[in-house]
Copies of this chain bind each other. A is one copy, B any other.
Amino acid sequence: MKLNSNEINVLDKIFRVNLINSITGIKPANLIGTKSKKGLSNLAIFTSVFHMGSNPPLIGMLVRPDKDVRRHTLENIKNTGFYTINHVHESSIIKSHYTSAKFDPDESEFERCHFTEQYIDDFKAPFVKECTIKIGLKFQEEIPIHMNNTILVIGCIELLIVDKECIEENGYIDLEKAASVGVSGLNSYYSISKRMDLPYARVDDLPDYLSM
């Protein structure tokens, strides 16, 4: 199936959104935990979290400010300066998904979706107790993307909690052991299985069939 931009524009709206939402490939499923100025906790699933750099350890997240749930998340991040990223676990896909429902503004998605708020050391935002990989971040910067009115939120890692058995000797997290989940678009969930580890790619150490 081949589509140019004119043909994409005239697709059925839902079909187009689903297609474009899933075209970049697999995305990570993460729960963002925050607290409002008034102390109400908030939990929202995001598929737009991405690695930005290791030194300093920065994580980016694209936020659409026109959606209710996500607006709470962004407001809370900016008001308190802190938030958590928690990997969706395979056993909690459904609960995690429903954090995106538009609950009343005075209800916490932690409670409504049966997750447990967890406070670690004196970190100011709530972690998700049920998750095996958790990151505490300090808000650094928001960069407005004028082309489509989205916002790139950048945070720096302040705290990491990872089940020891999920960390390999070299520091890599085994995402299969962690039972971390992938998403296509907004509604389609995938489990992930390790296929192979490869060495850093060097020209003087190519596999035989690529050597000339």
- A residues with a Cβ closer than 8 A to B are 1-5, 8, 11-12, 14-30, 47-60, 62, 64, 85, 87, 90, 93-95, 97-103, 112-114, 120-121, 133, 135, 140-141, 143, 145, 147-148, 150, 152, 154, 156-164, 167-168, 170-176, 180-182, 184-203, 206-207, 209-210, 212
Contact = CB atoms under 8 A, between A and B. Distances in A.
B1 A162 contact: yes
B50 A196 contact: no
A207 B95 CA distance: 9
Contacts of A93: 195-196, 198
B48 A159 contact: no
A1 B167 contact: yes
A19 B196 CA distance: 17
A51 B26 contact: no
B140 A1 contact: no
Copies of this protein in the complex: 2
A212 B14 CA distance: 30
A112 B212 contact: yes
Contacts of A14: 170-171
For A17, A87, A172, A174, which residue has the most chain B Cβ atoms within 10 angstroms?
Answer: A172
A113 to B, nearest CB: 6
Given A1-B167, A25-B29, A95-B210, A20 B57 contact: yes
A11 to B, nearest CB: 7
Given A4-B159, A26-B182, A148 B56 contact: yes
A16 to B, nearest CB: 7
Contacts of A47: 51
Nearest to A69: B201
Contacts of A135: 23-24
17 contacts: A8-B157, A8-B160, A15-B171, A16-B171, A19-B173, A21-B51, A22-B173, A23-B162, A25-B49, A25-B87, A99-B201, A102-B202, A112-B212, A143-B145, A189-B194, A191-B192, A192-B192
A150 B59 CA distance: 12
